[in-house]
Amino acid sequence: MYVDTIERPDTATLVSAAQDGDAMAWERLIEEFSPMLKARIRRFRLSHEDAQDVLQTTWLLAWQNLRSVADGQRMAGWLATIAFRECLKLTKRTKEICTPDLDTLGSTDDVDRELARIWLAGTLDALVEELPAAQRVLFRALTETSEPHYVDVARRLGRPVGSIGPTRARTFAKLRGLLQAREITRDFLD
């Protein structure tokens, strides 16, 4: 039985063609990488409209800077980095605390717990900003997914895999120290 297969160009070939102005190659790149970008953007728990804006901005920036891509095989990582940075910019610009309808929480203890959680989330964001840049970047990379893999984080940050665990330990120790300096302990959280 003869099966005619359509040869699919690899990413590097598509990038090169798109750099040369091939609109079809650019469309294929969008088709190929949009699902991955949407999944990464979703991790930031943005509204649908904000997520769409980040996706469009990511593709716009990618198009504007496409000539800077020297290795087309690294397109996925390059796009993911653009999307990650755009998500961070958006969350910093629109840093709003969504206050729940406290009447639906029930008891006074539930209300107190929810208000403490909201306050602590804002406090933690402020404390993360006090970390050295390398620790701040690592903290965000580790907390953007529920199950971060050191290999993925190391690759994305351009660091050796063996450095992620020790840097994570130092980062969390520094955060614990910052929390303790503000007298925020486990007793406060319970």
- Read out DSSP for 103-129? GGS-SHHHHHHHHHHHHHHHHHHHHHH
Residue 74 forms part of a structural domain: yes
Residue 132 forms part of a structural domain: no
Number of domain units in the chain? 1
Residue 84 forms part of a structural domain: yes
Report d(CA 47, CA 55) in Å as an integer: 12
Residue 57 forms part of a structural domain: yes
Q: What is the pLDDT of residue 3?
A: 40
Q: Give the CA radius of gyration of the chain.
A: 21
Residue 136 forms part of a structural domain: no
CATH number, domain of 83, equals: 1.10.1740.10
Tell me the residue range of the domain where 17 lies. 1-101
Q: What is the pLDDT of residue 59?
A: 95
Q: Who's near 40: CB < 8 A, 6+ residues apart? A: 80, 83, 84, 87
- 10 Å CB burial of residue 58 (0-12, 13-18, 19+) is buried
Question: Going residue by residue through the chain (190 aa), what tens digit of pLDDT does each one get?
Answer: 344 444 557 889 999 999 999 999 999 999 999 998 998 888 777 788 888 999 999 999 999 999 998 888 889 888 988 988 888 888 776 654 444 444 455 555 555 565 566 666 667 777 888 888 888 888 888 877 666 788 888 888 888 989 888 988 898 888 888 878 777 665 555 4
Residue 120 forms part of a structural domain: no
Instruction: Name the token pair of 5.
Output: 């297969």
